[in-house]
Amino acid sequence: MKSVAEVIRENHGEIVRRWTEEATRAASARGLEEPEFKNIMPTYLASLASDEPLGIANSMRRRHVESHVATRLRQGFHVAEVIEEFMLLGRCISSMWATAPREERPDVADVEQLFTELHGASQAVIELFSEHMREDEQTEKRYLRLIQKVATESLKVDATSLRGRLTEVLELVMEALGAQAALLLLNESEQDGLFIAASAGVAKEALERYALTLDATSFATRAAFATRDEAVTPQDAISGMEAEATVLEVGDALRQEGLRSLLGIRLATPHALIGVMCIGISEARDFTARERRRLESLTERLTVHLDNAKLYSNLQAKLEALNVERELRERFVSVLAHDLRGPLSAARVGAQLLLRRPEMLDERRELARRIDQNIERTDRMVRDLLDANRIRAGQRIVLPLAPCDLTALAREVIEELSTVHGERFLLEAPGPVQGNWNADELRRALWNLASNAVKYGSTEAPVTLSVARTEHGARASVHNEGRMIARAEQETLFKPFSRTRSAQAGPAKGWGLGLTLVWGCAQAHGGKVTVESEAHSGTTFTLELPLDAAPYQPSA
């Protein structure tokens, strides 16, 4: 009668072959590659036939079990799958005497001892897995705490420092997953799309280039919107799909930099896509279920903080806008009270003089004319303010239209301004330019443009008004030499109460409504106003109009 140890020694190679074949078949059925590190199980098998003292043999076998479990953990095996491997080893050993004569089989006690050992190995597997899960949970909690700390601190930094804080988050994610590279793209807006917010690890320049060169249907979109079973629209994916890690294709450039596998995941709330994270490793292998789960857990917490950061940023922007609004209103009320007091006071004093000496009315016609001018000036201010408020509210100015000559209007404006500023104006017009427009609105627009050119242009160069027919309508432009308007300020010139820094610092006063009214006039006529400003050529405001503004009126 042979012992179990003798059977193992005599058939060690055949047992290993059968175990490898069965284990490989079981792994393939689960979608796994052929199990690696097969040398651990043969070594454990050999220890079952060892002649070492019991204590030494048990300690040695425990180390083999721990080594095998550690390997399988890295490969993403579940505890039941590892236990099944030890049970499979027992079946492969017992198959060696299944067909042997009774006298050549091990006795029952020896076989029971073998399966007791294998049962002990299975218990050790469960204990090791449980210990690993406890440690893994504590580790994950640690990383979640660190991410929460960094993400919370990032709320307090400016945009320049934010990239550095996000890089720290990526380094924590890399450490938690044993990754060699990481990239974070954030969603700026629906118009601008995803942009690179931070990157870390090896080959980060190559990873950034990779993300930027691929089109929207590949890298970012696949990570953001991919599903396992069916294609969905981006909006459906954003609103309804749980965040799920997605394996991404690795290009030749990344392979040359040492990255072999990429995993991407969406960062999304139920209402919006926050961004996409990607991690890379240097091994060409599948990501384990544990790695996917950990990435999903970490990014879920990060998504919450990034969403909070975005809400916080939006809130800050709105608070700043409200503060600016409040300051503008306070300044507006102060300026309005000051500017209206002048003409109203002058009209009141004149009216009182007339009331005291009504018999001298014929001799004081000039006083009555000044009263009328001051009341007209006050009415113009109120009308400008009402029109500016309409424009600000998104409403068009209502225009009564009639045939008029744009060239004649420009000439009138020049004559009016010349009485105050002298002969500083030139008119370039080949002839009359007729159209169906509102003469008062166009006169006000040209007056605002020309008076601004006098206020802020060079005092040594003339202000030129040009009027001409165009292929599609008419054009009026006002040009002045002088300091260039900064490009950043050009974008806000036509907003209510907006004045350039040089205008605010200069001696010329104003409400910042003139260009808003010019813009409103252009829109009401179905046209547009543009500005070009260069240091060497000066500043030109151009008003382009259709010949007939009737189709662009609200009633049409």
In this prediction, residue 234 carries a pLDDT of 37
Given a cut of 70, the residues of the chain with pLDDT beneath it are: 27-39, 51-56, 73-76, 132-162, 188-193, 213-244, 328-350, 352-369, 372-374, 376-396, 496-512, 555-556
In this prediction, residue 51 carries a pLDDT of 67
How many angstroms separate the Cα of 267 from the Cα of each of 18, 39, 104, 263? Answer: 46, 41, 64, 13
pLDDT tens per residue across span 203-241: 888 888 877 765 444 444 455 444 333 333 333 433 333
**E strand or H helix at 197, and its extent?**
strand 193-201
In this prediction, residue 296 carries a pLDDT of 82
Q: Given this structure, which CATH class describes domain 319-392?
A: mainly alpha
Record: fold of 402-552: Heat Shock Protein 90 (3.30.565)
In the DSSP assignment, the letter for residue 548 is: B
Record: fold of 4-139: Globin-like (1.10.490)
How many angstroms separate the Cα of 287 from the Cα of each of 27, 175, 290? Answer: 15, 15, 8
pLDDT tens per residue across span 109-138: 888 888 888 888 888 888 877 776 666 666
Measured in residues, the chain has a length of: 556
pTM check: above 0.85: no
What span, in angstroms and rounded, lies between the C-alpha atoms of 21 and 18?
Answer: 5
Domain boundaries in the chain? 4-139, 154-314, 319-392, 402-552
How many angstroms separate the Cα of 125 from the Cα of each of 41, 70, 297, 327? Answer: 14, 10, 26, 70
Provide the token pair at 532. 């070009």
**E strand or H helix at 305, and its extent?**
helix 289-356
CATH of domain 154-314: 3.30.450.40
SS (H, E, C) 286-298: CCCHHHHHHHHHH
* Residue 483: burial class (beta carbons within 10 Å; 0-12, 13-18, 19+): middle
In this prediction, residue 361 carries a pLDDT of 61
Strands 193-201 and 246-248: unpaired
